[in-house]
Structure 1
Amino acid sequence: MATAAGSTTAGKLASGKDHRQENFPVASIVLKREQRAPIMAFYRFARAADDVADNPTASAAERLSVLAAMRSTLAGESDESEEARALRAVLTERGLTPRHGLDLLTAFERDCTVARYRTWDDLIGYCRHSAMPAGRYVLDVHGESQATWPASDALCAALQIINHLQDCAKDFRALDRVYLPLEMLAENGAEVGDLGGPAATPGLRATIEQMATRTDDLLGQSASFAAQIRDRRLSVEVAIIHRLATSLTARLKTRDPLSQRVHHRRREALWLAATAGLSRLAGRS
């Protein structure tokens, strides 16, 4: 079914952001060439859906309508969404199901109507849809065992929360969206409005540190993930991502994302990636 002329589409709500602007590698040259294309198809689908959910000018109803078109197209019930058609073609070619893409859409649909999370468990529940499907998809593309999913899930949740913490002020100011659990803020004597200040209050700083510590726990749960992976190149990329995440989490314990830089500079990221990659190669039999 063709999209009606003049109707809102994912392309019209695109931010222009691409994989080179992400905090962590996406289908890097470390991976085998034949695996990069299907991963990029999933990324472009996810990027398009994320842009829809985060668009500051479209109404919630408009955004949900575009996401519904992406969902029906990915499920094979329509052909409305260009981005979903592209991913569906890759899934068909690879003999994969659309479940990870459909799970991902649940998170973006939630972003259109939910702007606060009460507890840490609520936030992890969000990550179950917003982050974990991406890792599971990459593993499926590589033919890895589902036994690797728990470690992958922990790492993907950690990456998502790191992004939430780095962007906490921007998310609040631009979208009135807060991923810091309200219970944690209250326990530390902080308020949502503190995210609009020029620097973190003591209570907000304590909340960010507390979340970074819990993120460290997730990184601990995923410490053996790279060693569980059979594909040598994917194992190296996972080790690199884990090292970058560990570094950023350490920074979040000492730096204020409202007033200080947390993101790696290019040279820093390359050094961390090189040392992690070489270490993983040296540790493989």
Structure 2
Amino acid sequence: MTTATEARSGKSHRDENFPVASHLIHPRHRGPILAFYTFVRAGDDVADNPGLTPERKIALLDGLADALTGAGAADPEAAPLKAALAERGLAPRHALELLDAFRMDARKSRYADFDELMHYCRYSAMPVGRFVLDVHGEDPAATWAASDAICAALQIINHLQDCGKDYAQLDRVYLPADLLATHGVEVAALGAERASPALRAVIGTLAHRCLDLLHEGRALPDLIEDTRLAMEIAAIHRLAVLLARGLTARDPLSEPVHHGKAAFALTALAAAGASLARRPFRRRHAPRIRGARP
């Protein structure tokens, strides 16, 4: 296996836990967002491919970066995003930061504490929200901090839902080592059919941290000028709150955390509708977000 295309998993934006450029997004913005997703998916598939050595993963990720910036040979996984960025006059910064996160995944499989996990989220999650906001021409000073909080929560929720699979398939553990130690949990507990009460306590603690982050970012839909994007983010935020609450009560090793597609759709539509109803009364200044980083 020698190319990023050959490392693809076959997963698409329709397989993600949260909406990616749903039809709430205006058609003129969906193309660049989906091109971004395609590029990022290619990098993520490289990092998660168990048949590649860390060195080969890094080489492929470097090749994707060079193809996107024009510093190296063209790559079909990078071409659509490169064209979209040129058309919009946008820099490749956010996509390159995500490649940095995938390089971390290639080299690193454990996280010492929550701060270290948040540093990972700074590169693996926050650039996604920032890119979507940039595509829509939103003000970074008003929106990035709240977006960062939501994106970090989404990333950690995904980690918690997949904690058993990540350990079994990739020997990758995103649950902070100090939190596991506090509850007396060995990493091997992630390989069990059911989570022990102590592991459930670890997962619950992190789920509550996600709820805190989502609370910090709750004002984002009202800070966004584009109405359709505001509705999309309101829907994602509400779905994330439901999943985080579910993780405080359910065992991701032995049972699904998410609700059915119909329930998710109804929840998303209700949140989007509520955001639309608030538009005439929305706040137009950014809140202070604890721990926000550039």
**TM-score (ref. length: structure 2):** 0.93
In the TM superposition, what is the alpha-carbon distance from 1:191 to its structure 2 partner? 1.1
Q: How does 1:263-278 map to 2 (within 5 A)?
A: 263-278=258-273
Measured in 2, the distance between the counterparts of 1:16 and 1:264 equals 24
Secondary structure of residue in 1 paired with 2:24: coil
Secondary structure of residue in 2 paired with 1:64: helix
1:30 maps to which of 15, 24, 29? 24
Which residue pairs with 2:61 in the alignment?
67
Which residue pairs with 2:185 in the alignment?
190
Q: How does 1:35-50 map to 2 (within 5 A)?
A: 35-50=29-44
Q: How does 1:133-172 map to 2 (within 5 A)?
A: 133-147=127-141, 148-172=143-167
Secondary structure of residue in 2 paired with 1:180: coil
Q: Quick one: which amino acid aligns to residue 100 of structure 1? A: H
Measured in 1, the distance between the counterparts of 2:211 and 2:278 equals 22
Which residue pairs with 1:242 in the alignment?
237
Gap runs ≥5 in structure 1: 1-6
In the TM superposition, what is the alpha-carbon distance from 1:215 to its structure 2 partner? 0.6
In the TM superposition, what is the alpha-carbon distance from 1:283 to its structure 2 partner? 1.0
1:280 maps to which of 261, 275, 280? 275
Measured in 2, the distance between the counterparts of 1:60 and 1:69 equals 14
In the TM superposition, what is the alpha-carbon distance from 1:64 to its structure 2 partner? 1.1
Tell whether the 8 Å contact from 1:123 to 1:181 is kept in structure 2 after alignment.
yes
Tell whether the 8 Å contact from 1:79 to 1:85 is kept in structure 2 after alignment.
no
CA deviations over 1:167-200 (Å, ceiling 9, x no partner): 0000000000000000000001111100000111
In the TM superposition, what is the alpha-carbon distance from 1:61 to its structure 2 partner? 1.4
Q: Number of aligned residue pairs: give it.
A: 279
1:180 maps to which of 175, 183, 186? 175
Structure 1 residues 248-257 or 84-93, which shifts more?
Answer: 84-93
Which residue pairs with 1:259 in the alignment?
254
Measured in 1, the distance between the counterparts of 2:4 and 2:190 equals 29
Sequence identity (%): 52
**Residue 53 of structure 1 pairs with residue 20 of structure 2:** no
Secondary structure of residue in 2 paired with 1:34: helix
Which residue pairs with 1:218 in the alignment?
213
In the TM superposition, what is the alpha-carbon distance from 1:79 to its structure 2 partner? 2.5
Gap runs ≥5 in structure 2: 281-294
Which residue pairs with 2:73 in the alignment?
79
1:11 maps to which of 5, 25, 39? 5
RMSD of aligned Cα (Å): 0.9
The ranges of structure 1 where at least 4 consecutive aligned residues each deviate by more than 4 angstroms after the TM superposition are none
